[in-house]
Structure 1
Amino acid sequence: MAKKSLIQREKKRQKLEQKYHLIRQSLKKALSKAQSLSEKWEIHGKLESLPRNSAPTRLHRRCFSTGRPRATYRDFGLSGHILREMVQEGLLPGATRSSW
């Protein structure tokens, strides 16, 4: 189980990203349409003034049940060992345990 403080920090980043998503998107469109260099610098300064944690690149995918940050499968949102346990117990429909 991951530290609860790290999980809460990640949730805070997700909320900030959702809050500033439209603002960031509109500034990026304006930056691509800007003609003069001074306009681009001004828009870039506005982008830099947004909170750092509102950037989508700072988000990290975590396991849904344990909060583990590494070895998570995107399709299921689970880490490898949790996914394996659930498949063995038959909790994931359509997933079968391979054996040869």
Structure 2
Amino acid sequence: MSHMTRLTPYRITSLTEFRQSCGEGMHWVHGMGNRLWITRYGRAVAALVPMHQCELLETWETRSLREERTRMEDNYRRWKRVKGATDEPALFNWNLRDQLRE
């Protein structure tokens, strides 16, 4: 007897269709645990998946979305501080580049 894996149901929808009915798509994914593939010009460009599947992906990638979000928010706050320190247009400070990597 062969072992069969149950595939998660999925739908394919265009970006335009998704914009028009994103609430329905969210319910289909969140409420039922399904996946929604979003296409643009006929090519798959994104997917809407249940959060538990995204968390599994984080584990597989050995990085946390929470950590990445915190890093990005810290960089944004640093950028706002530098931008707000002067009325002049912000020029790239090569010394600051190294500070942003921290």
Q: TM-score, normalised by structure 1?
A: 0.28
Greater fraction strand: 2
Greater fraction helix: 1
Q: TM-score, normalised by structure 2?
A: 0.28
